[in-house]
Structure 1
Amino acid sequence: MATPTMWMVRAGERAWRIEDFERESLVSIGWQEMGDMTALRTREEFVRQVERSYPEAKKAWIPGAAGQAFRFVREIKVGDAVVTYNPAERAYLVGTVTGNYEYAVELSSEQPNLRRVKWRGRVARDQLSVAARNSLGAISTLFVIPPDAAAEIERLLISQPEAPSAARRAAVADEGVDDLYKDIQAKAFEFIKDKVSQLDWEDMQDLVAGLLRAMGYKTRISPSGSDRGKDIVASPDGFGFEDPRIVVEVKHRTAAMSSREIRSFLGGRHENDKGLYVSTGGFTKDARYEAERGRIPVTLLDMDDLVKALLEHYERMDIDMQRLIPLRKLYWPV
């Protein structure tokens, strides 16, 4: 026998309908502007109804809204498990879907789309593993809970173990939070690299110049097409008269730079110059060897190095440069 699907259905913003959910034995969603969705069958029909009901909505929002409405009306089945979260109690209410889709505006004008539910009990959030808590943290109104987390909820619902002490909860949390943070950090790093890779060449050149200014240098950017082996010159005075004079070459392409490009770059440098070569496509092994034995000091920055430097100096970058790669700070418990 197949294991029933388990759904999360949130009780509105800040769980404002949680008492109604429990008292009236139901779960519900909004999208009241769409009216009764009983006659809608396919995803395409739901998309068209969203477009008609929300003519001012952003195009990117429409598929997600239609998808959630479609799932609530058409994909949830009688017998499926359902979970909703009560933040005041820090507990998940767990039940079983007992009825098909209904449109009942008389019960709630704001959330008239409902499913009848038989509630079976509660599972405290603190009893769940960090991995399970993470999977339940999506902001979507409705989504399928991953099988491992669903199985954990079912086990806890049946066994109802003694609530762990505060010390034990903290210890269990610490075991998984570090790994979760590393995972999120790695994903964020890759998304930032995606943003950087989408810049055109001129914006990339401006970004590198902005990074150098954030590090305390003044910069001059060469006119397009006439760099003569340099795209940016950075120095304390901005003219290149004071040391260090850093000559920068920026290559924004997918191919790795070879030793020939590094030799060409080094060949036109003055004796007291310092070199910075930025290549979003990286460098071959021979190119790195060429840089190490060059007659002037030269630093090679690939995409990973560039993004690491960007994150290190981001808050000191001017606002125009931050607009090129807009980032949002995230606070994380330690």
Structure 2
Amino acid sequence: MQAFVLRVAPGEIDRLPEALESDQIIIGWANANGLLDKCLDWVGFREIVRATYYRGDKTLHRAGAAAGHLWRFIREMEEGDLVVVPYGSEFYIAEVVGEAIYLQDKKSEDTTYRRPVRWLNAKQPIPRSYAKSALISRMKIQGTSASATDLVDEIRDCLDIAASGTTPSFHSDLQNSLIARALNELQQGRIDSFGFENLIKNLLQNLGAKEARVVPRSQDKGADVVATFLVAETFPLVVAVQAKHWQPEPPVGRQVIDQLVSGMEAESADLGMVITTGTFSDDAVRAANEFLESAGKKIELVDGEQFAKMIVEHGTGDS
């Protein structure tokens, strides 16, 4: 079984109510006709998307990203796979039951590409608080879709909790209480910006970083913490982190994303993270998405609640 995360909002228009009513999932790029042709290889598939939407681009970043979402939707999804659809503070889960289709009469709405699904949990939303931090992070995709096959067990757990129909257990009550307490301590407790950076460093080591260091303020070029993970114990993946020990208001804005981009360039980082004790503005989310489209590198945005959950699940190391 595979699993995917999908935002059902082509053209930034919420289409989830229609998707629930029609028992379908929906993706955009409706003008890129002909993508259901199984004879197309990846290059031909991407070229249709490029010629339709990104003809003037000097690089293939945006065309490749858009084609990747469509390829995942049309070619990779199979019957029986799970699809998680984020929706505000909740999410829905569906099971794929058929192949992708193209509805010509929906072209003006940018909703031609669809897949039939069976909505699970009786079409009822599931609170994000039921999910573990890894699934919460995956649901914060900046693009349209992402693979989540590594999180199948977590997705099934959410369905089991939702289907139980019971009141929250002692374990869940305790965990939620610890998360709330951790968030309060992060925002109001005896920790300053230096302590916050060290806390992030220790957490990244707990998450498997082979090396993590706090960048001295005198050498700060936009990244406060730099960590190196080894993929398959061979390939180094460098993560640059911007740490913002802020209160919930005002939210972290676009300027912080710009600072991190400079830090990623200086550290030759493969991925970026902004971790805050507060929240993020819509402008910051857009800036991270724009960087993904232009540079092909992702910036993960971790707000205070998610960071508190990570602490509860993975510990604080030696801080």
TM-score of Structure 1 vs Structure 2, range by shorter chain: 0.5 to 0.7
Indicate the percent of aligned positions where both proteins have the same amino acid: 18
Give the aligned partner of residue 155 of structure 2: 153
User: Kindly tell me: are residues 57 and 173 of structure 1, through their superposed partners in 2, closer, same or farther at Cα, counting changes over 3 Å?
Assistant: farther
The CA distance in 1 between the partners of 2:146 and 2:274, in whole Å, is 26
User: Kindly tell me: are residues 115 and 175 of structure 1, through their superposed partners in 2, closer, same or farther at Cα, counting changes over 3 Å?
Assistant: farther
Give the aligned partner of residue 252 of structure 2: none
The CA distance in 2 between the partners of 1:8 and 1:70, in whole Å, is 14
- Which residue among 7, 15, 18 is the counterpart of 2:16? 18
Q: Which runs of 5+ in 1 are unaligned?
A: 188-302, 315-321
The CA distance in 1 between the partners of 2:167 and 2:43, in whole Å, is 46
8 Å Cα contact 2:222-2:262 kept in structure 1 = no
Give the aligned partner of residue 124 of structure 1: 127
The CA distance in 2 between the partners of 1:135 and 1:24, in whole Å, is 25
Deviation at 1:53, TM superposition (A): 0.7
User: Kindly tell me: are residues 310 and 93 of structure 1, through their superposed partners in 2, closer, same or farther at Cα, counting changes over 3 Å?
Assistant: closer
Name the SS for the 1:37 alignment partner.
Answer: coil
Q: C-alpha offsets along residues 213-247 of structure 1, whole Å, 9 cap, x if unaligned?
A: xxxxxxxxxxxxxxxxxxxxxxxxxxxxxxxxxxx
With structure 1 as the length reference, what TM-score do the two structures score? 0.51
8 Å Cα contact 2:27-2:112 kept in structure 1 = yes
User: Kindly tell me: are residues 6 and 15 of structure 1, through their superposed partners in 2, closer, same or farther at Cα, counting changes over 3 Å?
Assistant: farther
The CA distance in 1 between the partners of 2:36 and 2:111, in whole Å, is 15
Give the aligned partner of residue 115 of structure 1: 115
Matches within 5 A, 1:270-281: none
| Amino acid paired to 1:169 | N
Give the aligned partner of residue 231 of structure 2: none
| Amino acid paired to 1:33 | N
The CA distance in 1 between the partners of 2:64 and 2:34, in whole Å, is 19
Q: C-alpha offsets along residues 86-114 of structure 1, whole Å, 9 cap, x if unaligned?
A: 21xx2221111111110013245312101
The CA distance in 1 between the partners of 2:120 and 2:107, in whole Å, is 24
Name the SS for the 1:143 alignment partner.
Answer: strand
Name the SS for the 1:34 alignment partner.
Answer: coil
8 Å Cα contact 1:127-1:163 kept in structure 2 = no
Deviation at 1:117, TM superposition (A): 0.5
Deviation at 1:43, TM superposition (A): 0.8
8 Å Cα contact 1:6-1:145 kept in structure 2 = yes
Name the SS for the 1:106 alignment partner.
Answer: helix
The CA distance in 2 between the partners of 1:53 and 1:173, in whole Å, is 48
Give the aligned partner of residue 85 of structure 1: 86
Deviation at 1:67, TM superposition (A): 1.5
Q: C-alpha offsets along residues 104-137 of structure 1, whole Å, 9 cap, x if unaligned?
A: 1324531210100010114321111223212322
Name the SS for the 2:94 alignment partner.
Answer: strand
| Amino acid paired to 2:35 | M
| Amino acid paired to 1:93 | Y
Higher relative contact order (CA 8 A, sep 6+): 2
The CA distance in 2 between the partners of 1:312 and 1:119, in whole Å, is 42
RMSD: 4.1
Matches within 5 A, 1:81-230: 81-87=82-88, 90-107=89-106, 109=108, 110-121=110-121, 122-147=125-150, 149-160=151-162, 161=164, 162=166, 164=168, 169=176, 171-172=178-179, 182=200
| Amino acid paired to 1:115 | R
| Matching of residue 7 in structure 1 with residue 9 in structure 2 | no
Give the aligned partner of residue 67 of structure 1: 68
8 Å Cα contact 1:98-1:117 kept in structure 2 = yes
The CA distance in 2 between the partners of 1:312 and 1:28, in whole Å, is 37
Q: Which structure has the bigger radius of gyration?
A: 1
The CA distance in 2 between the partners of 1:141 and 1:8, in whole Å, is 8
Deviation at 1:58, TM superposition (A): 5.2
Give the aligned partner of residue 26 of structure 2: 28
8 Å Cα contact 2:25-2:114 kept in structure 1 = yes
Name the SS for the 1:8 alignment partner.
Answer: strand
8 Å Cα contact 2:183-2:277 kept in structure 1 = no
The CA distance in 2 between the partners of 1:166 and 1:113, in whole Å, is 41
The CA distance in 2 between the partners of 1:312 and 1:145, in whole Å, is 28
Q: C-alpha offsets along residues 160-186 of structure 1, whole Å, 9 cap, x if unaligned?
A: 254658885352366699899826997
Matches within 5 A, 1:33-44: 33-39=31-37, 41-44=40-43
| Amino acid paired to 1:81 | L
With structure 2 as the length reference, what TM-score do the two structures score? 0.53
